[in-house]
Amino acid sequence: MLVRLTMICNGATAATRLGAFPSDEPLEPRSLTLAKALRGTLRRADRVWTAPALRARQTAEALGLEASAEPLLADQDHGSWAGKRFEEVQAEQPEDIAAWLADPNAAPHGGESLADVAHRASDLMNRLIAERGHTIALTHASVIRTAILHVLGAPLAASWKIDIEPLSITDFRSDGRRWVLRACGVTMPKPAKPLRP
């Protein structure tokens, strides 16, 4: 039995560009344009799911995908840090940031720990391993990183060493017994720029 999971990271937002913790903000115009230009480049899927956040739903719509919301794909809840720049929180709460970066179980900001996100990603992977066919999941970098770590059996501390670019694809395959990482961080083909004479 062949099981395929294609995770697509949502497009960039203003918060992404500013180095801020995300809230439920919309995609930036450039991401919408890029995603729309990529319509029709994805393989057919048996299921298309999206995280509940606006930026994930907008990415799915811009790609021309009809998706249903899947709560397990939700981004990490950053609690009171949502919408604030990393540098701002680090200046105001240096001990909390240090704890959050060092301990995957820490959630001093009133939100969700990385371990919580990893648990959700593992639940999703364990559920999907029995689903024949291809699933496309529009989600967030935190979920994709923890799914990669789940498949590799790597420690959660390695999450900070994985960079997931907006609108990139991570592809997993399974024979129904175990997952393998087939491709990671593959950027979707961008429309070619016309050559200037």
Q: What is the pLDDT at residue 195?
A: 43
pLDDT average per 10 residues of sequence, the chain (197 residues): 92 92 94 89 92 97 96 96 95 95 90 96 95 96 97 95 94 95 75 48
Burial class, 178, CB count within 10 angstroms (exposed 0-12 / middle 13-18 / buried 19+)? exposed
Domains of the chain: 3-186 (3.40.50.1240)
Note the pLDDT tens digit of each residue in 47-60.
999 999 999 999 99
Residue ranges in 153-192 assigned as alpha helix (H): none
Note the pLDDT tens digit of each residue in 69-106.
999 999 999 999 999 999 999 999 999 999 999 999 99
pTM listed for this prediction: 0.91
Q: In terms of C-beta distances under 8 Å and separation of at least 24 residues, what long-range contacts does 60-66 make, across chains too?
A: 60/138, 62/11, 62/27, 62/31, 62/32, 62/35, 62/36, 63/8, 63/35, 63/36, 63/38, 63/39, 63/138, 64/36, 64/39, 64/40, 65/136, 65/138
